Amino acid sequence: MNFKPAIFFISFLFSLSLFAGGAETNLPQKDNGKKYGADSVNCIMNLSLYREFYKQWKQSHYKNSAVEDAQRPWRWVFENCPRSSQNIYLDGAKIYNYKIRKESVKEVKAALIDSLMLIYDTRIKLFPNDKHGSQKGKILGYKGTDLYKVSPDRIDEVYAILKESVELKKAKSKSAVFVYYFRATTKMAQKGKIDTAVIVDVYDDLMGYIDINIKYYTDKGNNKKVEEWLNVKGNIDNTFEPFAKCNDLVRVYQQKFDLEPNNIELLKKITAILDKKKCQEDPLFFEASVNLHKLDPSPESAYLIGKMLLIQKRYKDAVPYMQEAITMENQEKVESAYIFLAEIYRATGNYARARNMALEAAKINPEDGNPYILIGDMYAASAKDCGTDDLTKKVAYWAAVDKYKKAKKVDPSLADAMNKRIKSYTAHFPPTEVLFFHALKEGDTYTVGCWINELTVIRAAK
């Protein structure tokens, strides 16, 4: 058997490993605690040399071959005078990330990744502080995000690194750290290595930190940064969506609520997330909403209680809360409050009042077809009660179809659903012989009476 090819490959791999990571493991022995090491002349020379080649590489937007010339003097500096400059570690991370992306041999790539991790660890050891104090959390953030990108299979390490980073930096973490930490958290849960409840806790913490940043940059008037953080929030929300099951959310937040039922900030979080994830039917949502309204009454908390009472079909109790809710600043929610009021009045048989509320909602958002659907449904539902004969018991369907046509006109996405309603109720129009008997002509105008009291166009059933 010929062992020469195998021996050659192992020797070749070992030599690359020395560059990639093997030699650097001897760093503690070569570090004598001095800035420029034991050989300051050679240190300064190699430092200057690698920086010159690195600068050329950077000016080429990291595309030319100068990085190859930078590697040897960079390695000498890293091994012999690791305290000479913190730039060693910033530049080294860039070099190794580049080499990792270019490498196709699995074993070599793994060695390069280990060396990249060593660069970050050595930076933490030799440059633990910057002008703001400890920078360990910041460096761990870079280390964890890099490891996720180059070796996502090492998810346990990524999770541990980024968890520590966020615990140290909190709201001051980089936005990318939050994104990759949350992705790592969900992957750990999918592998069964952590409970899904941890996802909820991490989501809760990260949303709090993100909101701090959004408020900070909003107050500063920095719209670009606000947009960046809003994008991060959306990214994490999308990742969280598959895990946002009501039973998991309630399981986590019920424990927190039981411990601090009067914690206003906690109550706001509970009500906001349960409302957003459509978990309003759970008693926790109602209990938290009521406590929040007692402690910190606002149109927003009134809205949540009114919504819960509507779900419970306690219509009369819901009305005053929803009437308070329409004073909210958030116009999207104000529109919803008017829609809810319309549904409440419809449920109690007060169609005229319900229509008024629906029209108020339409004023706020002219592109929403739902208010017109609601009105059309009420017209159709009251058709028989609004007439006394074979004509007047059917004319309300004209007005109903008018509203369905209006709904799909302002919101084309409703077209299919509205076309089905239009086809269904067109069949209920008065037949041609009834129109003839009452001396009515298709295309003429007609005022539908009763509470509807609306001008429409005469049409025959089809």
Is the pTM for the entire model greater than 0.75? no
C-alpha of 84 from chain center:
42
Place 223 in a pLDDT band, splitting at 50, 70 and 90: very high
Contacts of the segment 287-295: beta carbons below 8 A, 24+ positions apart:
287/257, 287/261, 288/253, 288/257, 291/261, 291/262, 291/267, 292/264, 292/267, 292/268, 295/262, 295/264, 295/267
> What average pLDDT does range 348-372 have in this prediction?
96
Tokens of 384: 């028989």
| Residue-level pLDDT at 323 | 95
Token digits for 364? Answer: 């706020």
CA-CA distance, 378 to 158, in Å (whole number)? 57
What are the tens digits of pLDDT across the range 250-284?
A: 988 898 899 999 999 899 989 988 988 888 888 99
User: How far apart (Å, rounded) are the C-alpha atoms in residues 232 and 447?
Assistant: 54
Cα 96 from Cα 84, distance rounded (Å): 19
Cα distance between residue 8 and residue 87, in whole Å:
36
Binned at pLDDT 50, 70 and 90, residue 16 comes out as very low
The pLDDT-based confidence of 29 (bands split at 50, 70, 90) is very low
Residue 57 pLDDT > 60: yes
Q: Cβ atoms within 10 A of the Cβ of 198, count? A: 17
* Burial of residue 415 (number of CB atoms within 10 Å: 0-12, 13-18, 19+): middle
Task: List pLDDT tens digits, range 141-150.
Answer: 999 999 999 9
| Cα angle value 265/271/272 (rounded, 5°) | 85
- How far apart are alpha carbons 106 and 367 in whole angstroms? 55
* Distance separating the N- and C-terminal Cα atoms of the chain: 89
Q: What are the structural domain ranges in the chain?
A: 392-462
